[in-house]
C-alpha cells in the first residue's frame, strides 16, 4: 500500500450509496455493495473535476474492487465464484464491517 492509499490489497470495502447531482464514474449497481480491493492503480484525476474542465486538482487513489455477482444480483444463476470488477476512486469507498 502506498503512503497515499487508504485501503490495502484484500481489504473489504463498501461503496458509498450517494447519488450526487454531478458527473461521476461510479456504477450505480455497485453503490452500497461490499467488495474486495484487488489492485491499486495509483493516484488519478477525479472525473468530477475533469468533466468540468478542472485539471489542477490533486486527484485521488483509484482501486480495482471485485464484487461477487451473487451479491450484486441475488438471482444470478452462475457459479458462486463469478465476479465483477470496477475501478473506483477512494472517496467513494469506506471500510466494510
Strands of 12-15's sheet in order across: 83-89, 60-68, 34-44, 12-15, 93-95
pLDDT over threshold 90, residue 5: no
Do 38 and 9 contact (CB within 8 A), yes or no? yes
**pLDDT at site 3:** 43
Q: Could you give the CA distance from residue 47 to residue 57 in angstroms, rounded to a whole number?
A: 10
Instruction: Please report the domains of the chain, with CATH numbers, ordered by start residue.
Output: 12-95 (2.30.30.50)
- Residue 93 pLDDT class (50, 70, 90 cuts): very high
pLDDT in tens, 25-81: 788 899 999 999 999 998 887 777 666 676 766 788 999 999 999 999 999 999 999
User: pTM surpassing 0.85?
Assistant: no
Amino acid at each position: 500500500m502506498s503512503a497515499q492509499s487508504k485501503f490495502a490489497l484484500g481489504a473489504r470495502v463498501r461503496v458509498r450509496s450517494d447519488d450526487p447531482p454531478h458527473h461521476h464514474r461510479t456504477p450505480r449497481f455497485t453503490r452500497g455493495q461490499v467488495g474486495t480491493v484487488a489492485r491499486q492503480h495509483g493516484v488519478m484525476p477525479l472525473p468530477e473535476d475533469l468533466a468540468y474542465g478542472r485539471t489542477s486538482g490533486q486527484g485521488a487513489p483509484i482501486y480495482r474492487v471485485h464484487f461477487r455477482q451473487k451479491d450484486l444480483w441475488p438471482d444470478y444463476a452462475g457459479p458462486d465464484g463469478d465476479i465483477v470488477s470496477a475501478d473506483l476512486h477512494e472517496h467513494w469507498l469506506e471500510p466494510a464491517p
